[in-house]
Structure 1
């Protein structure tokens, strides 16, 4: 079961790890349409039941005892460095709703992702409350900062990842191994940059030989279809990409070559590949709505790696000789109240 599913990045990765979906909940109409376009009729383990609705209105009790993994990408604005960091005082904070549904569903495992801002010291008390509430529900909690670039995704994208398992499975959990090699932007996008016959694609790909900065999508109130703030645009410029807007299509045969004043732009499809989506993933809505979905997504390869570790723990697969169980996340402050 997944809440705040967005365009399906986490759900797609968990599908790849072997999980089938009992419910995929998303309130945004265009993101829900993206889910339906890609997975309402077929999927690796069957179609996804897409529920377009507010998480506040979702009742988990009919699913009690039937769910192995509860997952979600709860909204990041309450903890984002780019925002006001209101935490629990932000009405967009959905951690309490996630905990409510976890209590109703009683899954064997939990996976929640958020921005790295949640790991700041100012939110110590808040994290302690989450850990305390999950402990009260019988879970052992693990929390770590993972970078998407460590899992063959061509961008940095640090994310604060919470994994919680019923205590009998916790000794079998370890964080997934990082990939030995990173994937560059050029390696990922060469075929798409050359799709319309641009003669400079190969040279561009050779020079775009590092991972990208974190893509952002903005919210319905803020942010349009571009690669992000000024610092991000400058980083993309070094990769040979103009980041002030998003293109409708790849550069054609007449597009300039080796002209620093005329750089190619990313398309929505390219942004999806930078996030780790397959090239054939379809995006619903206008360009701004599509790019918002791309920029707010959780990279499928990261979700698949974590999901595989969770699946192994639920199956009580013994750890390899060179592995040790993940360290439990201990509260840094005594909780003063419960979020449940």
Structure 2
């Protein structure tokens, strides 16, 4: 069961390792709808996790298990409870307020572990969680977990997604727990780094597609389709579905590789294009403060911006290393380790926020593999294909998504009134932040 699931980065990594993700909890209706599109057999519960009881969680898990395994009785026991409680209160990218109410969600995650007693758990959070100023809330969480019978690993050390095959420097805390006297091993790292150039290999320029001015998808030209197939990068070939991901045990998705998705264009003024052109790779453009990606190295951490409850600030999108524009959602997804079949909300504001808020699937997969070792499982790949959800799920505003995912109005994210502040003010889609 995935708590605070967002679009589903953690869900995907655990599915790739061999877990059945039977249910997911996400309180933002837009993100819940996106999760439902990518995981149509998963039971999505659009609720505030702090208001959920153990009975609520188990009921959702039972419904999800029935979808995945019709006619099979479920034991009622969770092998793993996973999640990344909203971390902005601990984040080095924010104010890191000691009394930020979002810090309480860490203890709500702990509460549900205490009540549900899953055999294992995975807690993901930002590196700031280990800072001295958060000693009190962090140690309360870890002590309660130990008293509940869990042996823990990862409580004292930050990991970087760079070491797990992700072309992005992203420092995170991954705490794993097992209901036994032996702590799970730490997630296994991989050798070598993936560059931005390797990540983008085979992706065509969105500038050549007029349809991407009004849509996030377009039919690939024959030339771009051939270049995609001829991709040299092993990393890109796997995300494009050309070569299999070694050891992948997720259910294959039915999708159309002839479509370029997640690539809605952003139009810049001539003055902005000139400023981008004058910015060297790996440097920051002085006016917008946007970072230009390198080619031969990894990206810096992709940021998520804020939701409506925090003023709807737009995600700072990196500048493309070769073209004088910000990256598309698909390019950001490549930097995060998402396969090309995985789709996000069709607006740039929601789409980039969903990527930036999520756990890179390769990092989640490494954590999942470590938990499988604690459980003593060696799952096999399930080859039954899954048809993705209706694309309309990716187009919904928060108000229109609310009835679709059965969200409770009183538990939906609040809206905070603010003056519009956008890092790159001449983006054609900057209105999306206010629209939600």
Instruction: Give the TM-score band, short-chain normalised.
Output: 0.7 to 0.9
- Structure 1 moving runs of 4+ over 6 Å: 195-199
Contact 2:153 2:186 in 1 (8 A): no
Q: Deviations over 1:257-306 (max 9, x none)?
A: xxxxx624311111111111111211125221111101111000000011
The partner residue of 2:192 within 168, 173, 181 is 181
Deviation at 1:98, TM superposition (A): 0.7
Partners of 1:193 and 1:60 lie apart in 2 by 47
Tell me how far apart the structure 2 counterparts of residues 128 and 56 of structure 1 sit (CA, whole Å): 20
The alignment status of 1:48 with 2:42, answered yes or no, reads yes
User: C-alpha separation between the residues in 2 aligned to 1:224 and 1:293?
Assistant: 12
Aligned partners of 2:299, 2:185: CA distance in 1, in Å? 27
> How big is the alpha-carbon RMSD for the aligned residues of Structure 1 and Structure 2?
2.6
Q: Take 1:296 and 1:279, find their aligned partners in 2: how far apart are those partners?
A: 18
Partner of 2:390: none
Name the stretch that deviates more: 90-99 or 208-217: 90-99
1:289 aligns with 2:350: yes
CA distance in 1, matches of 2:204, 2:346: 23
- 1:126-156 Cα distance to aligned partner (Å, 9 max, x none): 2211111001100112223111111111100
Q: Does 1:58 align with 2:148?
A: no
Match of residue 224, structure 1, among 314, 331, 337: 314
- TM-score where L is the length of structure 2: 0.59
Distance in 1, matches of 2:124 and 2:33, equals 22
Instruction: Check conservation: 2:14, 2:21, Cα contact below 8 A.
Output: no
Q: In structure 2, list runs of 5 or more residues that go unmatched.
A: 60-75, 210-222, 232-280, 282-293, 379-436
What is the CA–CA distance in structure 2 between the aligned matches of 1:197 and 1:123, rounded to whole Å?
49
**1:1-340 matched pairs, under 5 angstroms:** 1-40=1-40, 47-61=41-55, 63=58, 66-87=77-98, 89-93=99-103, 94-143=105-154, 144-170=157-183, 173-194=184-205, 208-220=295-307, 221-227=311-317, 240=321, 263-315=324-376
Question: What do the CA deviations read for 1:173-198 (whole angstroms, capped 9, x no partner)?
Answer: 32133211111111011211457769
Native 8 Å contact 2:5 2:83 kept in 1: yes
* Residues 23, 50 of structure 1: 8 Å contact kept: yes
CA distance, structure 2, for counterparts of residue 16 and residue 117 of structure 1 = 28
State the secondary structure of the residue aligned to 1:271.
Answer: helix
Tell me how many residue pairs correspond in the alignment.
276
Unmatched runs of 5 consecutive residues or more in structure 1: 41-46, 228-235, 242-261, 318-340
